[in-house]
Amino acid sequence: MTATSLPPNSAPRVRVRAGRLVLYTVLVALTGLFIGPFGWLILSGLKTPAELAASPVHWLPTRVQWHNFADAFNLIDFLGYARNSLIIALIYATLVTLSSAWVGFGFARLEAPGKKTLFGVLIGSMMLPQMITLLPTYLIFAKLGMVDTYWPWVFWGLAAAPYLVFLFRQFFAGLPRELEEAAIVDGCGYGTIFWRIFLPQSWPVLSASFVIAFTWSWGDYIAPQLLLSTDKSTLAVAVMTTYVTSAGTPVANLQAAASVMYVVPILLIFLIAQRGFVAGMSTTGLK
């Protein structure tokens, strides 16, 4: 760059720098706006009931009430509910991942009359409003005596989830044909091909699917609220409904602390899995 070309460039350079400043300010402000609400929940969980009841608002706790988290843990059987949530989420996520991979393989690698129609139904069923179908399903489960059991989640798991089927279908469809051709010549059945050849290839999708299904189940509120009695219910239901005094008034500070403890595992799972996703994406991008 010569000296003569500098003057015309310097004015835009100042403008660019000012533009950068504005950009960073906007980004930081927006990020604060998005993270702020959760920060407020944590703060609320660190205050005393008197501070929460006071008006005008107490911005910061006078003394940080760390013991609120322990109290929230002990006021209800937090661990018991967390275990219920975990069991249901593990049952559902494991089954639905395997069944969706199985179905996805069918849609990706096999042909049969009616496949196009079925695939259309599959895609269409992704758009079905689940809350609408849940209510009559609940009545049927109640009739079959499956209320207060984990059977509904077993069935939902076995039935595969259209969104995950689609995920697996896209992945399997992208694998080379030669992968199963050799196995077919060797006389392997499609079941063997699926378990021995395709499934071991699909760790990125398997883990993605498992994490997605796990967070669905962990976050689900209405189904466990309808299908399970209080002590068999999940953490989502317990956090929402059980933080009340015997008189029925909510214990806001402990509830806030409890909801932080309910949400944080999901955020952690996402943050851990996100790294895996990025790695998976970059490896497939290199191919």
Which of 1, 34, 145, 287 is the binder for other proteins (CB under 8 A)?
A: 34
Nearest-5° Cα angle at 81, 44 to 210: 100
Stretch that binds other proteins, among 5-13, 56-64, 72-80 (CB under 8 A): 56-64
Nearest CB to other proteins, comparing residues 80 and 118 = 118
Interface with other proteins in residues 5-24 (CB under 8 A): 20, 23-24
Which of 25, 62, 133, 284 is the binder for other proteins (CB under 8 A)?
A: 133
For position 271 contacting other proteins by CB under 8 A, the verdict is yes
Nearest CB to other proteins, comparing residues 83 and 250 = 250
Stretch that binds other proteins, among 7-15, 64-72, 75-83, 196-204 (CB under 8 A): 196-204
Stretch that binds other proteins, among 8-16, 44-52, 68-76 (CB under 8 A): 44-52
Number of residues that bind other proteins (CB under 8 A): 103
Shortest spacing between CB 8 and other proteins, in angstroms? 18
For position 277 contacting other proteins by CB under 8 A, the verdict is no
Which of 1, 11, 112, 247 is the binder for other proteins (CB under 8 A)?
A: 112
For position 285 contacting other proteins by CB under 8 A, the verdict is no
For position 82 contacting other proteins by CB under 8 A, the verdict is no
